[in-house]
Amino acid sequence: MSEDQDLGITQSKIHNTGEWYAEVVQKAELANYGPEGMSGFIVTRPRAYGLWERVQSYLDTRFKQTGVQNAYFPLFIPEGYLEREKEIVEGFDPEVAWVEQAGRNELEERLAVRPTSESIIAPYLSQWIRSYRDLPLRVNQWTSVVRWEATETKPFFRTKEFLWQEGHTAHATRADAWAETMRRLNQYESTYEDLLAIPVLQGAKPEHDKFPGADTTTTVEALMPDGKSVQGATSHYLGTEFADAFDITYTDTDETSRVAHTTSWGLSWRALGALIMTHSDNQGLVLPPTVAPEQVVIVPIWQTETKERVLEYAEDVANNLDDAGIRVELDDRDDQNPGFKFNEWELKGVPLRAEIGPDEATEGTVTLIHRPDGESITAERSEIVETVQEQFDAVYAKLYAAAEETLNSNIRIAETRSELLGTIGQHGGYVKTPWCGDEGCETAIKDEIAAEIVMVPISSDEDDEQDTTDENMGVNNDTTVESNEKSLDLTDSTCVVCDNPAFKTAYFAKSY
């Protein structure tokens, strides 16, 4: 196999999505699989870790602007801590890795390798909170967790160890805690839409699929080009269950002891999987300029007699862009031809390529090529910084528009069971249906076509902090829900599975 062939992507995104995705991840130098005998673990290469750092920076800035402080809690959680919250134990038990021996000594108490941190953080919130003056208390940690997945793993989408952030807060009232839950969900939505160029839908998980111990789990869902949904991030209103279990109480202004309301919320490197899957193509990785390690690659094109002049001009352009804070790479290797360089940087996802040959050096121009579609722009040398920044916006807009079209054209309505099964079977995507709220009706669909309820809409009145008394807070029970300009009227509707009265709108989809 030639070097050029080795660079290329051999699998089809449309026809062999899983194999294509794995090939892009490895050939674009994002990750390697873990050691033999450690299936489900990956080695994150610098290019992928750089993407994660930009996600981290984006979110961390916004967290701190809204009162969050970073902290760090132990990797290991004593078994007794987990058992204090019954639903955590039951929810995560199949996926928990345990440490039973240290060196040659058997431990007196097993230690769980952190699957999530509510049970190790809550006891310390209890120590730190005494008075209403200590509230709200907001902490976050950037870390990794381990969940021993029994299902098939996929780099970034589903691995046994993964990077994430998890925020934990305590509040005096239910209204304040719910506002916090939605604040974080909106920040996650912004991360996808304003940083990663991926439109998402906001909703809540059904009662049977919420985070163990939570009152309400909210989610942002992203639709992949193969018609499967990705749970992009979750924000949980935990109610008072964890506070009761770990004695998180405070003395109110009237000297009465009250139980705090808590939240937790997290985004993992699954966002990187969604980024890769959404934008990339059969030439390799495609990245928006907002996160790309190199935003511009300059490829000088010369003959022997023009080499010195072209390289001098290209270096001057590179320095100009670098001084403006643009991440630029000058590929002046003389052991590779321009065609090889074009293919290599396309494979690695650089959003903008600048070609500089003798003509550009003579005319004082730069030829700019958009990675997503090959569109060519001629930029004046004197305006190169402004033009490059304009082209970044244009590339981002193209990526977002393509993803938005995928989402908007793949939300469909089904009002009977046969319509639901047929639509998902033929098209994939999201199918909105009337639902009675019974888990058994979801199970019947899941058993037949491997699709599940990925979300139910959050009713508009839940954002009103005065309306916080609904037992199933955050889950829509309204008769009409508007989403993506496609409405489903539940008036006099019956569940598509059991024909009982329908009170909710369910979004069914296959998912990663």
Torsion of CA 56, 60, 63, 67, to 10 degrees: 150
pLDDT of residue 487: 64
**Chain-centroid distance, C-alpha 71:** 22
**Chain-centroid distance, C-alpha 278:** 11
pLDDT of residue 91: 73
pLDDT 10s digit of each residue in the chain, 512 long?
344 446 789 999 999 999 999 999 999 999 999 999 899 999 999 999 999 999 999 999 999 999 999 999 999 999 999 888 777 777 778 889 999 999 999 999 999 999 999 999 999 999 999 999 999 999 999 999 999 976 778 999 999 999 999 999 999 999 999 999 999 999 999 999 999 999 999 999 999 999 988 999 999 999 999 999 999 999 999 999 999 999 999 999 999 999 999 999 999 999 999 999 999 999 999 999 999 999 999 999 999 999 999 999 999 999 999 999 999 999 999 999 999 999 999 999 999 999 999 999 999 999 999 999 999 999 999 999 999 999 999 999 999 999 999 999 999 999 999 999 999 999 999 999 999 999 999 999 999 999 999 999 987 544 444 343 333 344 443 333 334 445 677 888 999 999 999 999 999 999 99
Beta partners for residue 507, in sequence order: 432, 455
Write down the residue that tokens 């381990």 correspond to.
146
Residues 6+ apart with CB under 8 A from 250: 129, 130, 131, 132, 134, 135, 172, 257, 258, 260
Quote the CA–CA distance of 220 and 280 in Å, as a whole number. Answer: 21
Structure tokens at 485: 């300009």
Contact in structure between 414 and 423 (CB atoms under 8 Å): yes
Helix 307-323 to helix 384-408 angle (10° resolution) is 70
Which strand (E) or helix (H) includes residue 42? Answer: strand 42-44
Quote the CA–CA distance of 201 and 224 in Å, as a whole number. Answer: 12
Q: Are strands 97-102 and 105-113 parallel, antiparallel or unpaired?
A: antiparallel
Per DSSP, the residues of 315-347 read HHHHHHHHHTT--EEE---SSS-HHHHHHHHHH
pLDDT of residue 491: 80
CA nearest to 139, candidates 62, 222, 71, 218: 71
Quote the CA–CA distance of 234 and 267 in Å, as a whole number. Answer: 7
Q: Which domains does the chain have, with CATH numbers?
A: 73-270 (3.30.930.10), 296-407 (3.40.50.800), 411-509 (3.30.110.30)
DSSP three-state, residue 375 = coil
**Chain-centroid distance, C-alpha 143:** 15
pTM equals: 0.93
Quote the CA–CA distance of 302 and 72 in Å, as a whole number. Answer: 53
193 burial type by CB count under 10 A (0-12 exposed, 13-18 middle, 19+ buried): middle
List helix spans (H) across 286-438.
Answer: 307-323, 338-347, 358-363, 384-408, 417-427
DSSP three-state, residue 128 = helix
For the chain, the residue count is 512
pLDDT of residue 492: 81
Backbone angles phi, psi at 251, to 5 degrees: -90, 120
CA nearest to 317, candidates 342, 354, 290: 354
DSSP three-state, residue 25 = helix
226 burial type by CB count under 10 A (0-12 exposed, 13-18 middle, 19+ buried): middle
Q: What separation in angstroms does the CA of 286 have from each of 156, 219, 243, 265, 464?
A: 16, 26, 44, 28, 40
Amino acid at site 511: S
DSSP three-state, residue 360 = helix
CB atoms inside a 10 Å sphere around CB 396? 19
Cis peptide bond N-terminal to 136, omega within 30: yes
Quote the CA–CA distance of 270 and 52 in Å, as a whole number. Answer: 10
Contact in structure between 246 and 125 (CB atoms under 8 Å): yes
Quote the CA–CA distance of 135 and 171 in Å, as a whole number. Answer: 6
pLDDT of residue 286: 98
Quote the CA–CA distance of 442 and 509 in Å, as a whole number. Answer: 11
Structure tokens at 298: 């300059």
CA nearest to 148, candidates 171, 181, 114, 176: 114
Structure tokens at 66: 């809204």
Torsion-angle region of 170 (φ positive above 0: left; ψ -120 to 50: alpha; else: beta): beta
Contact in structure between 168 and 125 (CB atoms under 8 Å): yes
Number of H helices, E strands in the chain: 15, 25
Q: What separation in angstroms does the CA of 16 have from each of 33, 136, 490?
A: 20, 49, 38
